[in-house]
């Protein structure tokens, strides 16, 4: 994906907005980094920006849940390490 390619995927951005309760007026920009995955900054009108981490196969819900538990545990001791944002259904 090029720098603004996520903006060309309105279905994905729309689903992210619905799942996480974000304002649907969003833009996304690719961030540097991300070893094998894609990482984007998503700016939502009237809200703080969020980072969207798009996992590439092979990946599993179990490995993502493990990663999120680790980051959440670190965030308790290190406030700068923000925990994953929860979706409206409570998942991450």
Tell me, what's the pLDDT at 50? Answer: 83
Tell me, what's the pLDDT at 10? Answer: 66
Rounded distance, CA 80 to CA 26, Å?
Answer: 24
Per-residue pLDDT of the chain (92 residues; tens, 9 = 90+): 444 455 556 678 888 889 988 888 888 888 886 677 778 888 888 888 888 888 777 788 888 889 889 988 999 999 888 888 888 998 87
Tell me, what's the pLDDT at 9? Answer: 63
Tell me, what's the pLDDT at 2? Answer: 45
Q: Are 29 and 4 in contact (CB under 8 A)?
A: yes
């Amino acid at each position: 994906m090029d720098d603004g390619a996520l903006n060309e995927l309105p279905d994905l951005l729309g689903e992210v907005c619905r799942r996480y309760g974000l304002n649907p007026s969003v833009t996304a920009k690719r961030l540097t980094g991300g070893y094998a995955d894609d990482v984007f900054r998503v700016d939502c009108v009237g809200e703080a920006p969020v980072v969207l981490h798009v996992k590439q196969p092979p990946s599993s819900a179990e490995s993502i849940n493990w990663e999120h538990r680790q980051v959440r545990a670190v965030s308790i001791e290190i406030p700068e390490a923000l925990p994953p944002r929860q979706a409206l259904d409570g998942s991450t």
